[in-house]
Structure 1
Amino acid sequence: MKIDILASGSAGNCIAITVGEKTILIDAGIAKTKIEKALMNVNIRPDQVEAVFITHAHGDHVKGLPFANKYGIPVYAGADEWESIKSVDDDLKCSAFKENGVYESFMFDMGEMAVIPFGVHHDAREPLGYKVLAGNKQVSICLDTGHVDAAMLSAMADSDIYVIESNHEPRMVEASSYPNSVKARIISHIGHLSNHQTAEALSKLVQGNGEQIYLVHLSDKNNMPALAAMTVKRELLKKGLTVGKHYELEVV
């Protein structure tokens, strides 16, 4: 399994996951031509993309969906989220549905890759995170969410790779020039994860088995990469876990 984070942050988000010759995208939040170029830069042809999975309908996650129309790629999103997505051809729309409160898995390449949605907490109609399983590898992707609950921790447990939002430092948000309404949205339970919230979630998930952590969707005004990394390292050190020995960490 190969992970390429093609774009991350408020300007756009797009993650490529490749197994063998097949690739799926999580979000398409940069322009169509930029997705094509970013894929080629990591040696992935656009026609290798099997599916696009959308976390939610905000512009920095769906801006480049005409890419899917161009190549006839199916796009998956929460059933209610389609009410906010207008840029996908009808025949390419696929919905995630729950059965007995649990999202159904999507299977690709005759069962060699499975994508399992899980609910998150953001100011959208039906925001999702995703766990991708292929062979003996698992990757969990959790982008915009205001908090991480027990159900999310259960959905992400036992992953080899965690791609998770570490959006802001609350003190920087409070000191920012943002209107109070925007500040309140960011730090709300349906806003974005703070560094400390992310670190707490990872401390419950990471077991020290060599997991790879990618911190993504950092605010360019209300966070610093070194601060995000330090917060996670300190929290995991409380469990006796050291970066480079028990896990790997990269801030994107």
Structure 2
Amino acid sequence: MTTSSSPGTPRERAGRTNGGRSPVSGFCVKPLRSGSSGNLTLVEHAGTTLLVDAGLPSQRGLASALSEAGVAWDDIDALLVSHLHTDHIHPSAVACCARHQVPILLHEKNLRAFSRRVLSRSPQPGPLRTFGAEPFSVGSIEVRPFAVPHDAEGVTSGFLLSARAGGRDVRVAMATDLGSGGNGLYERFIDSDLILIESNYDPGMLQRSHRHPFDRARVDSDVGHLSNEQAGKFLVRVLQESRKLPRAVVLCHLSADHNSPVVAVGEVRRILSRYGFGEIPVHAARRDGPSPRFFAMEAGER
């Protein structure tokens, strides 16, 4: 196992073909899968291609999901891991990263658990690098990690991703697994050009479900998941403090059993409209297929 405390060191590009594809213009995020069955998000800017989480349970499924976006493993500069639940980092992804020498970046406090739980099933990992609270860069993208409340072992991170475009810093804020938005967390999202936030469940659907009461309580706890209403109110707090509005909001990690895109988007739009933010586009990331590319800034914009 190769470890380093310098997560932003670019990986060697020698011999990489980039699949013959042209870099995407602008700064964009494309959720390829989003939900408890697996999370995989693509971030692209100026030739840098970053994956945030890779929780699909097979190497073939991962390759297929990347292919749907016109991307191959050899195009990926790094895999950034938010936390250690297997729907966010699966041994299949570790094996793919080893084969293609893609660095895996994870929080320094997660390294021991990662080695015990994940590497035990992937005995020959590729480059493994750790980060703490300080910002670092992967190619042209700066990453600012921040801790969020969730019941995974170790630390669960959200990320503020920024890149220089159109003569200014363009910002993408994302947190896709968190139980609450308290303790000043909203400050991390202020003035973002694109926001990705969890909107996991509808409380009524959750309480009417056949899940064990313990499971329902866990989902609804401050270290479980955000409901649609919580996501909407969190966004209102962010927007009220922002000097500019985001191009779009993308709702992530929707439950297959206790939510739906129509319910989640409808509830969040209703809350935003009540507070005068109804013009902001709200989308739901797909669970079982690729979502569109969402641009924080398109080429030529200022």
Structure-1-length-normalised TM-score: 0.90
Question: Does 1:22 find its partner at 2:18?
Answer: no
Offset from partner CA, 1:16-54 (integer Å, 9 cap, x none): 001122210110011332222222221223211111111
Aligned equivalents of 1:33 and 1:106: distance in 2? Answer: 31
Aligned equivalents of 1:38 and 1:230: distance in 2? Answer: 28
Aligned equivalents of 2:203 and 2:144: distance in 1? Answer: 31
After TM superposition, the structure 1 = structure 2 runs for residues 31-110 of structure 1, keeping only pairs within 5 Å, are 31-63=58-90, 64-85=93-114, 86-87=118-119, 89=124, 92-97=127-132, 103-109=133-139
Aligned equivalents of 2:182 and 2:47: distance in 1? Answer: 35
Whether the 8 Å CA contact 2:233–2:271 is kept in 1: the answer is yes
Secondary structure in 1 aligned to 2:88? helix
1:210 positional shift: 4.7
- Cα pair distance change 1:91/1:46, threshold 3 Å: closer
Secondary structure in 2 aligned to 1:60? coil
Partner of 2:267: 231
> Percent of counterpart pairs with the same letter?
27
Q: Which moved more, 1:62-71 or 1:23-32?
A: 62-71
Partner of 2:178: 145
1:132 positional shift: 0.7
Amino acid at match of 1:121: P
Secondary structure in 1 aligned to 2:87? helix
1:155 positional shift: 1.6
Structure-2-length-normalised TM-score: 0.76
1:74 positional shift: 1.2
Partner of 1:100: none
Aligned equivalents of 1:231 and 1:213: distance in 2? Answer: 13
Whether the 8 Å CA contact 1:40–1:46 is kept in 2: the answer is no
Whether the 8 Å CA contact 1:9–1:217 is kept in 2: the answer is yes
Could you say which structure has the larger radius of gyration?
2
Offset from partner CA, 1:219-244 (integer Å, 9 cap, x none): 010112111111111111122122xx
Gaps of 5+ in 1: 98-102
1:3 equivalent among 12, 29, 40: 29
Whether the 8 Å CA contact 1:32–1:65 is kept in 2: the answer is no
Aligned equivalents of 1:32 and 1:168: distance in 2? Answer: 29
**Count of aligned pairs:** 242
- Cα pair distance change 1:40/1:83, threshold 3 Å: same
